[in-house]
Amino acid sequence: MSVSSASDAMADRLEAILLVGGQGTRLRPLTISTPKPLLPTAGVPFLAHQLAKAAAAGVGRVVLATAYQAPMFADHFGDGSVFGLEICYAHEDSPLGTGGAIRNAAGALRSGPDQPVIILNGDVLSGHDLSAQLDIHAKHDAAVTLHLVEVDDPARFGCVPTDVDGRVTAFLEKTPVPVTNRINAGCYVFRRNVIEAIPAGVVTSVERETFPALIRSGAVVMGYAESAYWLDVGTPEAFVQGSCDLVLGCLASPALAGSPGVPGQALLLPGAVVEAGARVGGGTVVSAGAVVGAGAVVEASVLFEGARVGPGASVHRSVLGRDSSIAAGAVVDGAVIGDCAVVGEGNELRNGIRLWPGVELGPTAVRFSTDA
């Protein structure tokens, strides 16, 4: 374990820790070459949306808690100055889980023991009001204040009941019998000295260990419920949805302020080519060097750099990895095509199919579908 910078001085600026060390297994094969927080989302790395949101809420200093493919983060974000932030890096030699990662990153904080520190999961798009969450935290002198959202399927998340004053009464991670549809939205405000109570150097989950233990001990854990736009982009379907929503303007991201083509039906990045008669819409992003051939239809999809869609092909709600290729007339619907993979003529890939990087499907007119 190592921490790139540390200081005992009080922070003069609000600090945040961003958790970006997960392997992103649900987004494979996209995350084989690129960690989830760096996947291009509406034309910029996903994390750029969170960094810009943090900066807009008054955060001045960010610690990125890295593990998986750590060096790529510093290559992308450097010292953070392009975001008007100071970014430093806390690396785990082996992943410490969400709690262990927060504890490890705390070594790089400068905040005093009673100051608030914002913690963000590195895979959440949220339009909620961070300043209002900080206000609730301060008003109740809370140990931790959790952002909560209401969802239709709470069993997939951490279920978080509160009392009438908004104080959290339990934290039930992925329970089959949720007692409320309010769930943990992955953005926390911690009092700095509460982070120090997490054991150092030990794999720990804030969701399964830290939050339940705090509540049992009688610590004040508050919920901040807000129904603004919220999406966990951990699955391919959600990743596509998040990128399209940003392009369509369903969520305004400060990282896209002034971006021509946002909001719009499609975002064509410099160097993208859309040939005559092709239709591109539904919030699609066509990245640099990507080509949509004549007469092709591309709806609600993400085309990474150099991806090619042949004439007359059809691509819906899918991700086409870097330098992948879809032949003329092929159909890709609800699929993930890995980097450099090739889908030959006549193939139909539907309903959650994932093609691994470099795989080549010849012109076999085969239909692949998880419905089969």
Of 187, 284, 286, whose CA–CA distance to 245 is shortest? 284
Instruction: Kindly tell me the sign of the dihedral angle through the C-alpha atoms of 227, 233, 234, 238.
Output: positive
Smallest gap from Cβ 236 to ligand GTP, in A, equals 10
Smallest gap from Cβ 162 to ligand GTP, in A, equals 22
106 near ligand GTP, judged by CB under 6 A? no
Distance CA 14, CA 3 (A): 19
208 near ligand GTP, judged by CB under 6 A? no
Interface with ligand GTP (CB under 6 A), residue total 23
User: What secondary structure does DSSP assign to 263-313, as a single string?
Assistant: SSSEEE-TT-EE-TT-EEETTEEE-TT-EE-TT-EEES-EE-TT-EE-TT-
Distance CA 234, CA 19 (A): 13
Nearest CB to ligand GTP, comparing residues 21 and 306? 21
Contact letters for ligand GTP, residues 232-271 (x by CB under 6 A): --x-------------------------------------
Nearest CB to ligand GTP, comparing residues 94 and 165? 94
92 near ligand GTP, judged by CB under 6 A? yes
Q: Is 59 left (phi over 0), alpha (psi -120 to 50) or beta?
A: beta
Smallest gap from Cβ 293 to ligand GTP, in A, equals 33
174 near ligand GTP, judged by CB under 6 A? no
Smallest gap from Cβ 205 to ligand GTP, in A, equals 8
Kindly tell me which residue out of 121, 287, 325, 347 binds ligand GTP, with binding defined by CB under 6 A.
121
122 near ligand GTP, judged by CB under 6 A? yes
The residue assigned the tokens 């200081």 is: 7
| 365: Cα within 13 Å, side-chain hemisphere | 0
Phi, psi of 37 (to 5 degrees): -65, -10
Do residues 311 and 297 make contact, with C-beta atoms less than 8 angstroms apart?
no
Distance CA 55, CA 74 (A): 18
Smallest gap from Cβ 311 to ligand GTP, in A, equals 35
Kindly tell me which residue out of 60, 95, 254, 264 binds ligand GTP, with binding defined by CB under 6 A.
95
Segment interacting with ligand GTP, rule: CB under 6 A, options 23-31, 129-137, 278-286, 300-308: 23-31
Q: How many residues does the chain have?
A: 372
22 near ligand GTP, judged by CB under 6 A? yes
Distance CA 158, CA 98 (A): 14
Phi, psi of 174 (to 5 degrees): 40, 60
Tokens of 345: 């003529």
Smallest gap from Cβ 164 to ligand GTP, in A, equals 30
Segment interacting with ligand GTP, rule: CB under 6 A, options 21-29, 141-149, 174-182, 279-287: 21-29
Report in angstroms the alpha-carbon separations of 289 from 118, 167, 173, 305, 320. 38, 51, 43, 6, 13
119 near ligand GTP, judged by CB under 6 A? no
24 near ligand GTP, judged by CB under 6 A? yes
Smallest gap from Cβ 172 to ligand GTP, in A, equals 16
Nearest CB to ligand GTP, comparing residues 199 and 271? 199
212 near ligand GTP, judged by CB under 6 A? no
User: What is the contact surface with ligand GTP in residues (CB under 6 A)?
Assistant: 19-27, 36, 65-67, 92, 95-98, 101, 121-123, 234
